[in-house]
Structure 1
Amino acid sequence: MLVGAGFIALIIGGLTYLSTGNAAGAVLAGLMAGGASAPVLHKHVGP
């Protein structure tokens, strides 16, 4: 679950960086995507 959230964060951050060229924005987008996906993955996968 945590690995999946990290993978999602990495993909979203990388795509944001390739799209905008802004490293700070890419890091923030990756953190937001990872933070938002962790509870969703936890709910679907379970404990």
Structure 2
Amino acid sequence: MTSTQPPQPVHSSPSDSAPAEPFLSVHTTVVLLTALVIGLVIGGLTALTGVSVPAAVIAGLTSAGAGVPALRTLIQ
């Protein structure tokens, strides 16, 4: 008596499929990381001047947010 086994699903290896697109492009990553560094520096320097911490955070966030459009055009 022979028993037949159900067919096994074919698993494709990751090398068989096309590589997935990156979540962010290199340009976007560089712009956002640079804006983050600028925001941290400005926020830290503002905190060292003696103002309240929330004001320093707002200064850092504002400078990071304002830097993104400028960095986007400057970094190509």
TM-score by length of 2: 0.58
Structure 2 CA distance for aligned equivalents of residues 34 and 43 of structure 1:
15
Task: Decide which structure has greater helix share.
Answer: 1
Greater gyration radius: 2
2:34 is the alignment partner of 1:4: yes
Runs of 4+ in 1 over 6 A off after TM superposition: none
Q: Which stretches in structure 1 are left out of the alignment for 5+ residues?
A: none
State the Cα deviation string for residues 4-26 of structure 1 (Å, max 9, x = none).
00000000000000102410000
Kindly report the root-mean-square deviation, in angstroms, between the aligned alpha carbons of the 2 structures.
0.9
Considering Cα pairs closer than 8 Å and 6+ residues apart, tell me whether 1 or 2 has the greater RCO: 1
The count of corresponding residues between Structure 1 and Structure 2 is 46
Alignment TM-score, normalising by the size of structure 1: 0.90
